[in-house]
Structure 1
Amino acid sequence: MSRLLLSTGDPNGIGPEIAAKAVARLGTAAPVIVGDRCAVEGPAEACGLRVREAEPGAIAEAGVCDVIDIGVLSAGELRVGQVRAEAGAATIAYARAAVRLASGGGFRGIVAGPHSETAVRDAGISFAGYPPLIAELTGVPEERVFLMLVGGGLRVAHVTLHVSMAESLRRLSVELVTDAGLALHRALESMGISAPRLGMFGINCHASEGGLFGEDDRRITTPAAGRLRAAGVDISDPVGADVLLGAPDRDGYLAMYHDQGHIPVKLLAGRGAVAITIGAGVPFSSVGHGPAFDIAGQGTADPSALLSALSLFENTPQEAATR
């Protein structure tokens, strides 16, 4: 089976350390790291790993850390523990390189380490999370690429994401909700869940309660649920998120906006949450926590969330994952 790519995320954060720890833990199932070799070498050596430049088709070996060196930063430019614009630019360069490599075949998916949105912004790069970037790089319309969070026993996809509530309400439409539901259905299938059962959150509290709290759900989510069922998707009518989350018979949920999906997952999973970009054709996952600059370089970072992100691809058939 082809290997995964692991983009380190911000090279000044804990990304290189947890990447090396993941490689050491996984042995012959280890991914290929994409980043600056100079940022990876120290953490890899601390884990007892020998660093080598990854060759096409290289087979993972225990005790070996395969790296595709992007060559953005030199060792003298690293500032471990600091928010730096050049590290933000490097973060995006690593992700871009990983998507190019995966799109060309030979790799079955990408997992990204933690990034700093501040560092990326300081580099002058427009960045609203990975889904828009992956959409741009794969040529898929941005409105057809979505974010799913996994953790705490929940899988929640978001119809809208990093926008204000007012903008979220403006963007929501029957078509957008339908596209997000289809992307969630296919993503769960690619993760080995046959005939996934989905739950749809309403836009307003109580899913508008028959118009008592507005007409948004009657106009948007209810007809979208009907379209999805007509397409063969098992999904509920819109229900208030607080009620629906208690339903034990759903494999995934469709949230209308950022906090509606993020709060329950982060509450239950904390830093162990995993973010997955769905709908773009290139399987792309990332950790749900930040670069933890305060502990970077100290050797104490926990790779659990990164290992969880990598494990999502363990039983994923490649042909399903890349639909």
Structure 2
Amino acid sequence: MSRLLLSTGDPNGIGPEIAVKAVARLGATAPVIVGDRCAVEAPAEACGLRLRAAEPGALAETGVCDVIDVGALSADELRVGQVRAEAGAATIAYARAAVRLASGGGFRGVVAGPHSETAVHAAGIAFAGYPPLIAKLTGVPEERVFLMLVGGGLRVAHVTLHVSMAEALRRLTVELVTEAGLALHRALGSMGVRGPRLGMFGINCHAGEGGLFGDDDLRVTAPAAERLRAAGVDITDPVGADVLLGDPRCDGYLAMYHDQGHIPVKLLAGRGAAAVAIGAGVPFASVGHGPAFDIAGQGVADPSALLSALSLFGNAPQEAVTR
């Protein structure tokens, strides 16, 4: 199995520390760290790990921390615990490098450590989260990069996201739903789910009940399900979300709009839910917490959330798995 890439996030925060701690915890299944060597040297020494320049195809070894040194920040520029524009620019440089490497093959996905939007914006970089950045880096239209939430035993991808209900209904087309279904199918495969079965939520209650509650599902979701099955995807016909969520045979679900997918995941997982950007050809997950500048460099940062994000791709001890 190919390895994951672990972008450290803001080098002045806890990202380098928890990245190294995750490598120490995972041993022979550890990811390759993407960042600046100067930022991970101290944490590696504290964890008793030997740093090694990562080479293509190199296997993980217990006691070794493989690093791809991006060279975005020098040791003189490192200011642990401080919000700095230089660190914000470095954060984006690490993510860019990781996505570029994953796009070239040889790595099965990217997990990003915590970032500081304040630091990124201070560097003069327009940043609205990772999905738009990934879309730009991979040349995929932004509307074709979808959000999947994972938590509470659920994996739910969203066809539409931060728009009004009226706008969501306008955007929902057979083509868009099909694209989202394919993205979810591929993402689950990259996470180690073999032959995933997908569940498709209907747009209207009872999935329209044959047109009784509107024809949206007859026009959009039902034809999309047929297209997906023709493409080799195992997916249900559109079913009311309240009913379908109770089907234990589904490995992932396709929600048509924000609340339809967010409410069940947030209800079951709370803030422990993880966000995954799918559809750009590069599986990409990130932690839900910030860089915790107040405890950076003190050796007390907890890597649990990062381990949970790594577990989405099969790289964490059983007790850290989110699902």
Range class of TM-score, shorter chain? 0.7 to 0.9
How many angstroms does 1:180 deviate by? Answer: 0.4
How many angstroms does 1:218 deviate by? Answer: 4.5
Partner in structure 1 of residue 262 of structure 2: 262
Q: State the SS of the aligned residue for 1:71.
A: coil
Q: Does 148-157 or 126-135 show the bigger shift?
A: 126-135
Partner in structure 1 of residue 157 of structure 2: 157
Q: State the SS of the aligned residue for 2:9.
A: coil
Is the 8 Å Cα contact of residues 108 and 190 (structure 2) preserved in structure 1? Answer: no
2:65 and 2:273 mapped to 1: Cα distance?
Answer: 25
Partner in structure 2 of residue 320 of structure 1: none
1:286 aligns with 2:271: no
Q: Does 1-10 or 122-131 show the bigger shift?
A: 122-131
Partner in structure 1 of residue 319 of structure 2: none
How many angstroms does 1:133 deviate by? Answer: 2.3
Residue-by-residue CA offset, 1:229-274 (whole Å, 9 max, x unaligned) = 3434333343443443233221111122344323433443345433
Q: State the SS of the aligned residue for 2:310.
A: helix
1:196 and 1:51 mapped to 2: Cα distance?
Answer: 38
How many angstroms does 1:295 deviate by? Answer: 4.0
How many angstroms does 1:56 deviate by? Answer: 4.3
How many angstroms does 1:67 deviate by? Answer: 1.7
The 5 A counterparts of 1:182-193 are 182-193=182-193
Q: Does 54-63 or 44-53 show the bigger shift?
A: 54-63
Partner in structure 1 of residue 223 of structure 2: 223
Q: Does 243-252 or 267-276 show the bigger shift?
A: 267-276
How many angstroms does 1:27 deviate by? Answer: 1.8
2:258 and 2:127 mapped to 1: Cα distance?
Answer: 16
Q: Which amino acid aligns with 1:111?
A: V
How many angstroms does 1:29 deviate by? Answer: 2.3
Partner in structure 1 of residue 250 of structure 2: 250
Q: Does 213-222 or 2-11 show the bigger shift?
A: 213-222
How many angstroms does 1:15 deviate by? Answer: 1.6
Is the 8 Å Cα contact of residues 273 and 305 (structure 1) preserved in structure 2? Answer: no
Structure 2 CA distance for partners of 1:170 and 1:17, relative to 1, 3 Å = farther
Q: State the SS of the aligned residue for 1:68.
A: strand
**Aligned residue pairs, count:** 315
Partner in structure 2 of residue 107 of structure 1: 107
Report percent identity of matched pairs. Answer: 88
1:116 and 1:213 mapped to 2: Cα distance?
Answer: 45
Residue-by-residue CA offset, 1:252-302 (whole Å, 9 max, x unaligned) = 111223443234334433454333333333333333444344543343332
- TM-score using structure 2 length: 0.82
Q: Does 238-247 or 27-36 show the bigger shift?
A: 238-247
The 5 A counterparts of 1:119-138 are 119-138=119-138
Partner in structure 2 of residue 177 of structure 1: 177
Gaps of 5+ in 2: 316-323
Gaps of 5+ in 1: 316-323
Q: Which amino acid aligns with 1:301?
A: A
Q: Which amino acid aligns with 1:273?
A: A
Structure 2 CA distance for partners of 1:101 and 1:206, relative to 1, 3 Å = same
Partner in structure 2 of residue 145 of structure 1: 145
Q: Which amino acid aligns with 1:234?
A: D
